[in-house]
Amino acid sequence: MNKRVSMLFTIAAVAVMGATLFGSTYTQTQISGQSIDMTQMDVDVLDKIRHMGGLQLVMPEAFAETDCGVLESSGRTVHDFQLTGESVELPIMGGKTYNAMTFSGTVPGPTLRVTQGDVVKMTLTIPDDEVTGHGNDMHASQISASAFESVNPGETSQYCYIAEAAGIFKYHCSGVKLIGMDQHVLSGMYGIAIVDPANGYKKLMVEKTSGSGELDRKFYDADALEFQLQYNQLYLTPEGNYDAGAMFKHHNTATVVNGMQFGYVPNMAHNLLVNGDVNKNIFVAQPWNGLEHKQYQSQLLFVENDQHVRLFIENQGNEPVFFHIVGEILDRVVQGNRVQSAATETWLLGGSQGMIVDLVFDEPGAYAAVNHDYAAIYTGAATVFVAGDPFGLNPVLVEKGVIPAPVPSYAYALGNPSDAVPPMGMNSIAHPALNIHGLYTDEVASEMQASGDYVALWEVIPVVAEILTS
Ligand SMILES: [Cu+2]
């Protein structure tokens, strides 16, 4: 291909990229003479880009180039964030598997946590036996997109940046020079970076009425018990392959939270504790009920009453998230490091948008965090929090010797699911225990078990059940 033709293809490719990814202001006229029909906004477009050999980024160097050497010796704290790109088979609801793509064998990928002003050194390694190249685009960075180049199997690449803005930020695979980016992200290659504000988080104010007509303000320390929830969709063929046609039509086959449909609902152990029978379900849908699911067995999120809880929430997907907690009010909504709302019922997240929700669970009970889009709820976006001891289990658990004394949350007996808990930050309250839960490969789950930092509930529950039923 001569230089002139090659340049035309690049222009056309950029036009198509703009149209395909960002909603087009390009018209057929503007790219007339090219072989791509812009009225065909479907899978064919991606196929044509593929046949052209990918997209070449020709955008100007809009942001300052960063150099790892300079940044590493800048005196700032440096975080070495290493990821691998791995295609693996992972389970979906209903006993089948799908062809997932992962960062480091987990969906979502590992969470990066830094403080505003720190340097991030992002290294992506693609193993020799991986079937495709991958890239990594971290939304916490502000560097030329050309830094997110594709990395081929058997290669390693890195870039560095200063995390200048506080907040929660998506990171995701950028495909092979943008080819297949949709497939890679919607098959599991996404995660978050949490950038803690340089001066820490703010204390939480909750308005309370006194009953005598006066308004009271209750303040909670900035330290909070933290969770992370990442929303996404799966678009799959019956064989478990990515279905681009379904994606273009927004016909998702599953709504996932941290990679799984209904990953945080009761299981057989909770049935036993509450109903005295492992087979008597306490929730309408318990697809990951049995011990045989190991790291995939559903687990609940346990919090104390009157405790400051901080949720890091990211919409990784292709559909909006109407975040709501059934039975609770979102006491504060923060985006970046700015308060957006307080005492609100629901907050909307568009695609690739995140927020920090601060709240206090006022009464003992079970609360479902949902994407308040009924299609999303019914296809997987229901996550159950249990606050305090709503089922009156403390006396039983103490009497049977499972716990030595009454506890303020069931996390002291069962732990909280590891994939829903971010790394510790500057205002984090440590969870009493963490159990191994998540869309992890068996290798990742065994490494976690071997570390001794996590509880393997599939081994502990039979022992506890024995005690409770004896
Ligand atoms: Cu990828």
| Residue list, annotated binding site for Cu cation | 134, 139, 172-173, 184, 189, 372
Q: How far is the CA of 181 from the centre of ligand 1 (A)?
A: 7
Q: How far is the CA of 101 from the centre of ligand 1 (A)?
A: 7
Q: How far is the CA of 311 from the centre of ligand 1 (A)?
A: 27
Do residues 46 and 187 both lie within one domain?
Answer: no
Helices 3-22 & 43-51 angle (0-180, nearest 10): 150
The neighbourhood of ligand 1, an ion, using CB within 5 A, equals 134, 173, 184, 189
CA 54 to chain CA centroid, nearest Å: 28
Residue 62 lies in a domain: no
Residue 58 lies in a domain: no
pLDDT truncated to tens, each residue of the chain (470 aa)? 334 333 333 333 433 343 333 333 333 333 333 344 444 455 666 666 666 656 544 333 333 345 788 899 999 999 999 999 999 999 999 999 999 999 999 999 999 999 999 999 999 999 999 999 999 999 999 887 776 778 999 999 989 999 999 999 999 999 988 889 999 999 999 999 999 999 999 999 999 888 888 888 999 999 999 999 999 999 999 999 999 999 999 999 999 999 999 999 999 999 999 998 999 999 999 999 999 999 999 999 999 999 999 999 999 999 999 999 999 999 999 999 999 999 999 999 999 999 999 999 999 999 999 999 999 999 999 999 999 999 999 998 999 888 899 999 999 999 999 999 999 999 999 999 999 999 999 999 999 999 999 999 999 999 888 888 88
Do residues 113 and 228 both lie within one domain?
Answer: no
Do residues 7 and 27 both lie within one domain?
Answer: yes
Q: How far is the CA of 152 from the centre of ligand 1 (A)?
A: 10
- Give the total number of structural domains in the chain: 3
| CATH number of the domain within which 146 lies | 2.60.40.420
Do residues 147 and 223 both lie within one domain?
Answer: no
Distance CA 72, CA 67 (A): 8
- Asked if 166 and 336 count as a contact pair (C-beta separation under 8 A), the reply is yes
- Alpha-carbon torsion 285, 379, 420, 106, what sign? positive
Do residues 369 and 224 both lie within one domain?
Answer: yes
Residue 60 lies in a domain: no
Do residues 192 and 212 both lie within one domain?
Answer: no
Do residues 186 and 213 both lie within one domain?
Answer: no
What confidence score (pLDDT) does residue 46 get? Answer: 62
Residue 63 lies in a domain: no
Do residues 121 and 34 both lie within one domain?
Answer: no
Q: How far is the CA of 187 from the centre of ligand 1 (A)?
A: 9
- Asked if 223 and 202 count as a contact pair (C-beta separation under 8 A), the reply is no
- Asked if 358 and 204 count as a contact pair (C-beta separation under 8 A), the reply is yes
Residue 61 lies in a domain: no
* Listed residues 170, 196, 222: the one ending a domain: 196
Q: How far is the CA of 150 from the centre of ligand 1 (A)?
A: 9
Q: Which domain holds residue 460?
A: 204-469
Residue 59 lies in a domain: no
For 370-425, the pLDDT digits (tens) are 999 999 999 999 999 999 999 999 998 999 888 899 999 999 999 999 999 999 99
For 416-451, the pLDDT digits (tens) are 999 999 999 999 999 999 999 999 999 999 999 999
Residue 215 lies in a domain: yes
Q: How far is the CA of 173 from the centre of ligand 1 (A)?
A: 5
Do residues 143 and 256 both lie within one domain?
Answer: no
Do residues 176 and 290 both lie within one domain?
Answer: no
For 55-101, the pLDDT digits (tens) are 544 333 333 345 788 899 999 999 999 999 999 999 999 999 999 99
Q: How far is the CA of 189 from the centre of ligand 1 (A)?
A: 6
Do residues 358 and 436 both lie within one domain?
Answer: yes
3-state secondary structure of 385: strand
Residue 57 lies in a domain: no
Do residues 172 and 124 both lie within one domain?
Answer: yes
